[in-house]
Structure 1
Amino acid sequence: MTDIAQVETLPDKLTSALDTVDPTALDCLQSSVAVVADWYHGPGTFSRMGAHLRFRPRPTDDALWTIEAETEPHLSAAVDAVGIRFTDTIRGADEARSAARTSLLLCVADAYELPWLPYFRREHMDHSFLLTSGDDASALMIDVYRNDTVHGPAEPTARRTGWKDLEPIMHSPRTRTTAVVPGTLPELQPRMVLRDNAQHLNDPHVPVVLDRYIEAYRTHPDQVLALRRMTLETWLLARSRQLHALWLQRAVGFRAARPAADHAKRCSDVSARAFFALRRVQAGRKASDVHHLLHELLADEAALARDLDLR
């Protein structure tokens, strides 16, 4: 359930969607898609975004690797999973005000430009929120993202915002706004999904990539940078594995999904250890061996996927 700081009475259907979405299992792009999914297709639909377990890190320009997907394919995969579609592309506040009278709008903008976030004027990253019509002068802005950041907490919120106040955001070159409508939910057979997960994570190529991934972090010359990035990596891992556990609970029941839930908890624990390791290095002390913990955690996913496939 999303405990949301709201300043207006929300539409009943939106309130119901907010009651069923778990923001602690979602990243800052999935969070808005989740609300739309449960709004259009009913409680728990959002968890379908977590059905597929994958480990596909890619190298980055700073000699590290990341499991973070690029924005456009990540967003596209999310909406496809939950049966919603993007229609019209909206440009500027005037177009948004007109479109919001009849459509729900999903915006992806630079968190650096969003004053309700702790990242405002501090960090650049893509972030999503929803807009719907409030009245002629204002929009209802919904952002259910929740995270304890180094700059302070990001809390779910719904607020009326003047269209005039939104103009700098809506006209920013970093902002992309689209209308979203219900589509057809894709067929999702749990047994086939679990078999596919097991095949992917037990591919012989995965351990090779895992070794390269961990070694890049272990040997990087700037360990403050490496551990800062590892903190993000393990946070993303923890959220994705928690989302998978939520989907599995709905698909096969709590008992059969227990190993996935336990694994998600391990991911959260390793994420906390990565943060503490970063703090130690920033203080000039030697970091604990979080690299070994992360390697062990990810290596165990092959056996976890096999186990879930056999249940």
Structure 2
Amino acid sequence: MTAAPAIRAELLDCFQSNLAVLADRYHGPGTHLRLGAALRLRTRPGPYGLPTVEPSLDEALADAADLLGLALAQKWPGADGDWARSLRETAWVVADAYHLPWVPYHGQRHIEHSFLAEPDGDGALAVTDAYHNDTPWGAARPTRLRLEREELAAVLDTGPVRAFRFDPTPLAPTPPRPTRLGPSQEEVRVSSAEADAYLRPYAEHPDRGPALDQFTMETWLLARSRRLRAAYLAQWTAGTPQPVEEHLARWDGLVEYTYLTSRRVARGRAEPPDLLARAAELLRADPEVLSGGDRGAGDVGAANAVGAAGGGRPSPEQVASTVTGIVGRVLGIREVPAPDIDLAGLPAFNSLRMLEIVDRLEEDFAIEFGPGDLLPERLHRIVDLCELVERRLNGGAG
């Protein structure tokens, strides 16, 4: 296995990540950040009759041509094992991740996924997959591996596969060099009407489980595209301005909030009333924060613990000890940070682990958190987790 590609994979979706590898290979490091040159609320019909911002294959190919200097030179709409056996050039491949053994979705979920395949010596192919994501089935990280042609042929024979070859072309001009925070607001086109039209079907969908499951994917895609936009702007600034960092942190918080809400509604718990309102506030703030000008984001806004207390209410010290122990076990760390340290700064902490911590707290303390308790800003520090547990033990509402 050779080194994985050096791109900002954590900012990109499963189509963009491997187009980014080609763009940097042909045009130099950092070219892939041009994908953040403009920010749109580009929607299309998605699952359950809901709109989605997930790019279609045609949109990904258009962005490759318009932004990355990648001209489509050849396509194989029905690539299969025979195609892999005879491959003689670098190809960008789109297949069902369910059949790809190097990704966590293998055998778990049907979803379109891209990778690069190219000759790598006699009888072998190099597979590059720069995708970066944490999934319920494990972590996907940028990788490059060597497969025998027959190995990849067997994978491609399992389902429909499309493959494409690109030629490098001169890069088209991007928006002018930003002044202050970025280019003009013309490069961030997200109107209030567009935001409302996008979110309304999610608010009105009668089946809340599927709607929230899909909205979890939506917030993940939205947050990534905004971080990509910020990375593009940061090429002309000394770091990311504080208002932008705060706005991005709110987007990350919305991703966590949506994931927690979706998982708990699927278990019959109540849905918080402000989830989609938070999303609308962030979408409306995008043009102000991620365009030009110097304005900020504004106000967008172990043993069972009860048993350890001898069958009665645990003491604050016992609560703190149990909460700390749960955090340490879930995150797999021996030295748990101080109670007021943000857990989001730990490599092992993510939305999946946060949900596991919440579930363990409810189980160990024999409590149930309310929808108002699950705001991300209440779940990132041990001291705040202790406060939530104490309030529930004392009969407080959430």
Q: For 2:243 and 2:62, locate their aligned partners in 1 and report how far apart those are by CA, in whole Å.
A: 29
Q: For 1:177 and 1:59, locate their aligned partners in 2 and report how far apart those are by CA, in whole Å.
A: 24
- The answer to whether 1:131 aligns with 2:110 is no
- The answer to whether 1:230 aligns with 2:215 is yes
- The answer to whether 1:88 aligns with 2:97 is no
Q: Give the structure 2 partner of residue 253 of structure 1.
A: 237
Q: Give the structure 2 partner of residue 270 of structure 1.
A: 254
| C-alpha spacing 1:290/1:254, structure 2 compared with 1 (3 Å) | farther
SS in 1 for 2:183: helix
Q: For 1:258 and 1:33, locate their aligned partners in 2 and report how far apart those are by CA, in whole Å.
A: 30
Contact 2:85 2:150 in 1 (8 A): no
- The answer to whether 1:208 aligns with 2:208 is no
Identical aligned residues as a percent:
35
Q: For 1:41 and 1:257, locate their aligned partners in 2 and report how far apart those are by CA, in whole Å.
A: 28
Q: Give the structure 2 partner of residue 239 of structure 1.
A: 224
Q: For 2:294 and 2:90, locate their aligned partners in 1 and report how far apart those are by CA, in whole Å.
A: 38
Contact 1:191 1:309 in 2 (8 A): no
1:26-105, aligned counterparts within 5 Å? 26-60=12-46, 62-90=48-76, 91-100=79-88, 103-105=89-91
Contact 1:59 1:66 in 2 (8 A): yes
SS in 2 for 1:62: helix
Q: For 1:154 and 1:84, locate their aligned partners in 2 and report how far apart those are by CA, in whole Å.
A: 25
> Based on CA coordinates, which of the two structures has the bigger radius of gyration?
2
1:182-205 CA distances to partner (integer Å, 9 max, x unpaired)? 22111113358822535733xxxx
Q: For 1:262 and 1:132, locate their aligned partners in 2 and report how far apart those are by CA, in whole Å.
A: 41
Q: For 2:294 and 2:184, locate their aligned partners in 1 and report how far apart those are by CA, in whole Å.
A: 5
In structure 2, stretches of 5+ residues that fail to align are 297-398
| C-alpha spacing 1:33/1:144, structure 2 compared with 1 (3 Å) | same
Q: Give the structure 1 partner of residue 151 of structure 2.
A: 165
Q: For 1:279 and 1:212, locate their aligned partners in 2 and report how far apart those are by CA, in whole Å.
A: 25
SS in 2 for 1:127: strand
Q: For 1:22 and 1:217, locate their aligned partners in 2 and report how far apart those are by CA, in whole Å.
A: 30
1:195-222 CA distances to partner (integer Å, 9 max, x unpaired)? 2535733xxxx32232232222122111
| C-alpha spacing 1:263/1:197, structure 2 compared with 1 (3 Å) | farther
| C-alpha spacing 1:256/1:141, structure 2 compared with 1 (3 Å) | closer
Q: For 1:110 and 1:152, locate their aligned partners in 2 and report how far apart those are by CA, in whole Å.
A: 17
| C-alpha spacing 1:199/1:107, structure 2 compared with 1 (3 Å) | closer
Contact 1:214 1:291 in 2 (8 A): yes
Of 247, 261, 281 in structure 1, the residue corresponding to residue 265 of structure 2 is 281
Q: Give the structure 2 partner of residue 145 of structure 1.
A: 131
Q: Which has the higher contact order (CA 8 A, sep 6+)?
A: 1
Q: Give the structure 2 partner of residue 195 of structure 1.
A: 184
| C-alpha spacing 1:66/1:105, structure 2 compared with 1 (3 Å) | same
In angstroms, what is the RMSD of aligned CA positions? 2.5
- TM-score, length-scaled by structure 2: 0.67
One-letter amino acid matched to 1:197: E
Q: For 1:254 and 1:223, locate their aligned partners in 2 and report how far apart those are by CA, in whole Å.
A: 43
Contact 1:53 1:197 in 2 (8 A): no
| C-alpha spacing 1:306/1:73, structure 2 compared with 1 (3 Å) | closer
Of 103, 111, 115 in structure 2, the residue corresponding to residue 117 of structure 1 is 103
| C-alpha spacing 1:61/1:121, structure 2 compared with 1 (3 Å) | closer
Quote the offset at 1:93 in angstroms.
Answer: 4.1
One-letter amino acid matched to 1:247: Y
Contact 1:92 1:171 in 2 (8 A): yes
Q: For 2:59 and 2:137, locate their aligned partners in 1 and report how far apart those are by CA, in whole Å.
A: 28
Q: For 1:134 and 1:236, locate their aligned partners in 2 and report how far apart those are by CA, in whole Å.
A: 33
Contact 1:197 1:305 in 2 (8 A): no
One-letter amino acid matched to 1:214: L
One-letter amino acid matched to 2:202: Y
Q: For 2:197 and 2:174, locate their aligned partners in 1 and report how far apart those are by CA, in whole Å.
A: 33
Q: For 1:300 and 1:310, locate their aligned partners in 2 and report how far apart those are by CA, in whole Å.
A: 11
SS in 2 for 1:292: helix
| C-alpha spacing 1:72/1:154, structure 2 compared with 1 (3 Å) | same
Q: For 1:198 and 1:51, locate their aligned partners in 2 and report how far apart those are by CA, in whole Å.
A: 7
Quote the offset at 1:110 in angstroms.
Answer: 1.1
Q: For 1:105 and 1:297, locate their aligned partners in 2 and report how far apart those are by CA, in whole Å.
A: 38
Q: For 1:188 and 1:306, locate their aligned partners in 2 and report how far apart those are by CA, in whole Å.
A: 14
One-letter amino acid matched to 1:266: R
Q: For 1:136 and 1:269, locate their aligned partners in 2 and report how far apart those are by CA, in whole Å.
A: 49
| C-alpha spacing 1:170/1:24, structure 2 compared with 1 (3 Å) | same
Quote the offset at 1:234 in angstroms.
Answer: 0.3
In structure 1, stretches of 5+ residues that fail to align are 1-6
Q: Give the structure 2 partner of residue 219 of structure 1.
A: 204
SS in 1 for 2:14: coil
Q: For 2:130 and 2:39, locate their aligned partners in 1 and report how far apart those are by CA, in whole Å.
A: 24
